[in-house]
Amino acid sequence: MNSGFRAWNKKEKRYATKDELAQIFLGSNGDVRILRYNTPVINFARLCSDEFEIEFWTGRKDMDGKKIYECDRIRLSYGIPPIYDTLIVEYADDEYVGDKSVSGWWMRNTRKNGCSASLCKTYEQGILIVGTIHDKDGG
């Protein structure tokens, strides 16, 4: 299974299975394509952006060793005594968050006026995945 991304099936409201993931790849311009096998002819890579939403692995893991992906809801604990916040993992490409320009993996706070931060090694031991934005109570 490709550990660099996972795929959310928009129609069926679930993540792709291992078998489905093995057939999904990204085109050279970033479009999502899937190999569909029909007997006796193989249908080559058709565009499937309308079917799947790709969520990339950030390269980071939470305190339990689980991979953190784009669109994960995480609980971050920091400070003494500990403060707990729920944040959403996103990728920013030179975007403004408040008055700062950010690029890279970002944790956006779900609380109005809550603290957001870069997803960096500093916070790794205080992060726990609690769901995704696709959960009923998520995002």
Domains and CATH numbers, the chain: 5-53 (no CATH), 57-132 (2.30.30)
Rounded average pLDDT over 26-55: 62
58 is written with which tokens?
Answer: 């950030």
Q: Which has more pLDDT, 101 or 75?
A: 75
Q: Give residue 42's pLDDT band: very low, low, confident or very high (50, 70, 90).
A: very low
Residue 20 dihedral angles phi and psi, to the nearest 5°:
-65, -40
The pTM of this model reads 0.77
Q: What is the pLDDT at residue 62? A: 93
**CA-wise closest residue to 106 among 115, 124, 93, 119:** 119
pLDDT of residue 91 exceeding 90 = no
Q: Which has more pLDDT, 48 or 78?
A: 78
**131 and 68 in contact (C-beta within 8 Å)?**
no
